[in-house]
Chain A
Amino acid sequence: DFQMTQSPSYVSASVGDRVIITCQASQVINNFLNWYQQKPGKAPKLLIYDATNLQIGAPSRFSGSGSGTHYTLTISSLQPEDIATYFCQQYDNLPPLFGGGTRVDIK
């Protein structure tokens, strides 16, 4: 079965810290990978598309990278408003598949 594995599942960091979230696909997905931010009680919002492209309106402290089966979402300087759960999503294969999510909290 095709799988998307996110790690860590939970991260607690201080304001200003660099936070890195990873998404590992069980097979090559050719950069067909998006990231979403979901704040408590809200719907997910597209944050990064095609692995590296920042969605219009998203803060520049968010960035995406990766290739092959391994992708990362980086928050360069964590802010209080970044408290949320982050999901990756691949579209190289049907059906689209989401990672299990990473909850980010402030220490």
Chain B
Amino acid sequence: QVQLQESGPGPVMPSQTLSLTCAVSGASISSGDFYWTWIRQHPETGLEFIGHIHYSRGPYYNPSLQSRVSISIDTSKHHFSLQLTSVTAADTAVYFCARGNNWSYGVNWFDPWGPGTLVTVSS
């Protein structure tokens, strides 16, 4: 059974860098069939795709966040990571990691998801 679990250091100060890691179990993070994905959910708005990474094709980022986001993968540790720089209160959200299914033109659906972790940006 595939499981994903987010982890991170907790609250983040404005202008600092948000860092999260997603541990993957029950599936190979080196499989060419999947994109390892970060998605966030703001309290009052919906779901926002942040970006994903394929073990051999590298990352893709949402253009709205591209200047501040970096996603990396560590196949030896079976995890992938998110860094978001220069955070503001607008980055306060629940952050999910998810497995994206690979198809001819990229990722199509996301299944399963981690339980999510709330990241609060506050001084």
Contact = CB atoms under 8 A, between A and B. Distances in A.
A9 to B, nearest CB: 10
Interface in A48-107: 49-50, 55, 87, 89, 91, 94-101
Interface residues of A, number: 22
Contacts of A100: 45-46
A55 to B, nearest CB: 7
Interface in B83-109: 96, 98, 106-109
Question: How many B residues are at the interface, by size bracket?
Answer: 20 to 34
Please classify the interface of chain A as helix (H, G, I), strand (E, B), loop, or mixed, using the class held by over half of its residues: loop
Interface in B104-123: 106-116
Contact of A44 (B47, B49, B107): B47
Please classify the interface of chain B as helix (H, G, I), strand (E, B), loop, or mixed, using the class held by over half of its residues: strand
Contacts of B62: 95
Nearest to A43: B113
B46 to A, nearest CB: 5
A91 B109 contact: yes
Nearest to B110: A46
B74 interface: no
B112 A45 contact: yes
Given A98-B48, A99-B46, A91 B116 contact: no
Contact of A45 (B45, B63, B111): B111
A34 interface: yes
A45 B47 CA distance: 13
Interface string B27-47: 000000000000000000111
A39 B19 CA distance: 26
Nearest to A6: B46
A29 B48 CA distance: 18
B55 interface: no
A89 B109 contact: yes
Nearest to A99: B46
Contacts of B98: 43
Interface of B: 45-49, 60, 62-63, 96, 98, 106-116
Interface of A: 32, 34, 36, 42-46, 49-50, 55, 87, 89, 91, 94-101
